[in-house]
Structure 1
Amino acid sequence: MTTGDPDQRLEALRAANPGSSHADALARHWLEAAGGRLLPRKRDIRPERLGRALARVIIYDFEHRDMIRFRLAGSYFRSIHGRDLTGSNYLDLMRGDDRRKAAERLFRMVEHPCGILTTNTNRFEKGREGEFRAFGLPLTDDEGRVTHSIHVSDYMSGPAIPAFGKVESMGAAASTWIDIGAGVPALAPPV
């Protein structure tokens, strides 16, 4: 696998999620932490270096198909979910088929290292909905196995901090792979 030119990689990541200062901050730090490697190690990531984006950062730990644990969930997520998500299972935020598709989408990202951009929908406890984009990139352990991913989110519609209660459920409306230097899975991400 080739890592390619860091400037080209940054431009490719920016093109995948244009106009997002949070995604730009994550892409810059992720590439800096990777150094000459295809992927950075989790231990090389310093979320505090992401500035204002830190509140919207999530790090997932891929334990098994039914457990994608929040290792870090920024303060923004506490405000929209009404609780600290750190330590809980991301998949518990999904209902029905959305749960299976979310697990498949995220595990495929780590099995074939690539980035992902997903447009998600939230349903709030007062019945309203909002859309947000989640931009994610894989991370390795010290042995080079992809075991984690890091993500940032940007709201696209609805209030950034909703006035209609806490998030009740989530699902994906659209998703696309991002080539980080190792190609992308042949199958499109399930939504």
Structure 2
Amino acid sequence: MFQSHPDQGSHALSQPRVRTAESIAFEDGWKIARGTAPVASRDAIGLKQFAKFAAQMAIIEPDPKSQSLPFRLSGSGFFDLLGFEITGMDYLDLVDPAIKEGAHACVMACLQQPCGLWQYTPVQTEDGDEAWFEYTILPIAKNAAEADHILVFVTRQHRPGKDVPTVKRIEHSTVWQWIDLGFGVPDMAL
């Protein structure tokens, strides 16, 4: 079930109300990598099955104590998506300060349940144009059986015929959905 943010309004750039085929294929690849385990291990996220996603994939290592979401690895396409390098950055430094706590809580819920999260998110750009990110977020385990990292696949939509502008700030998602990976989904509003 989709949940919409109340101030969604109408936008010149059309907003999909369903996940893209790329997002679903990314989840399918994660499921194959998971096998019979509760979540895919980081080692199972190989380039062979994820080659078509690799440029737009990132691994984030959430820190539950300091409320941070640092990027540990990011694909080469993130420079094209954002306009700058993100490896080593905290995702929460890129978002509207009003949503930092909620963004961290959602990622932690993905690890604890475990479950995935799909979002369609507006971004402010340096030139004032609008752009949108589609996020597919799935839990992975680095060294243990329990999820402790997240794997993110991001695609970007912007107005055709325009150069891709640099992202200034990531806003609150306007469309989102928990992804049930066999363990249910959190009972929390996004």
TM-score bracket for this pair, using the shorter chain length: 0.7 to 0.9
Structure 2 residue aligned with 1:100: 101
Given the two structures, how large is their TM-score scaled by the length of structure 1?
0.80
Structure 1 residue aligned with 2:29: 29
Higher share in strand: 1
Separation in 1 of the partners of 2:86 and 2:162? Answer: 17
C-alpha displacement at 1:17, in angstroms?
5.7
Tell me: CA distance 1:186–1:150, structure 2 relative to 1, closer, same or farther (3 Å): same
Q: Is this contact kept in 2: 1:25–1:50, CA < 8 A? A: no
Name the aligned partner's letter for residue 97 of structure 1.
A
Q: CA RMSD in A?
A: 2.3
Separation in 1 of the partners of 2:165 and 2:48? Answer: 28
C-alpha displacement at 1:48, in angstroms?
5.2
Q: Is this contact kept in 1: 2:80–2:164, CA < 8 A? A: no
Q: Percent identity?
A: 23
Higher share in helix: 1
Name the aligned partner's letter for residue 109 of structure 1.
C
What are the ranges of 5 or more consecutive residues in structure 2 without an aligned counterpart? 1-16
What are the ranges of 5 or more consecutive residues in structure 1 without an aligned counterpart? 1-15
Q: 4+ runs of 1 displaced by more than 6 Å?
A: none
Structure 1 residue aligned with 2:84: 83
C-alpha displacement at 1:18, in angstroms?
4.2
Given the two structures, how large is their TM-score scaled by the length of structure 2?
0.80
Q: Is this contact kept in 2: 1:114–1:137, CA < 8 A? A: yes
C-alpha displacement at 1:59, in angstroms?
1.2
C-alpha displacement at 1:82, in angstroms?
2.4
Structure 1 residue aligned with 2:139: 138
C-alpha displacement at 1:142, in angstroms?
3.0
Name the aligned partner's letter for residue 123 of structure 1.
Q
C-alpha displacement at 1:164, in angstroms?
5.5
| Count of residue pairs the alignment pairs up | 172
Name the aligned partner's letter for residue 42 of structure 2.
K
Structure 2 residue aligned with 1:49: 49
Name the aligned partner's letter for residue 63 of structure 1.
D
Return 110-119 or 78-87, whichever deviates more: 78-87
Separation in 1 of the partners of 2:94 and 2:129? Answer: 16
Q: Is this contact kept in 2: 1:17–1:117, CA < 8 A? A: no
Q: Is this contact kept in 2: 1:57–1:74, CA < 8 A? A: yes
CA offsets, 1:88-142, max 9 Å, x none?
Answer: 1111101221222211211111121101101111110011111221111111233
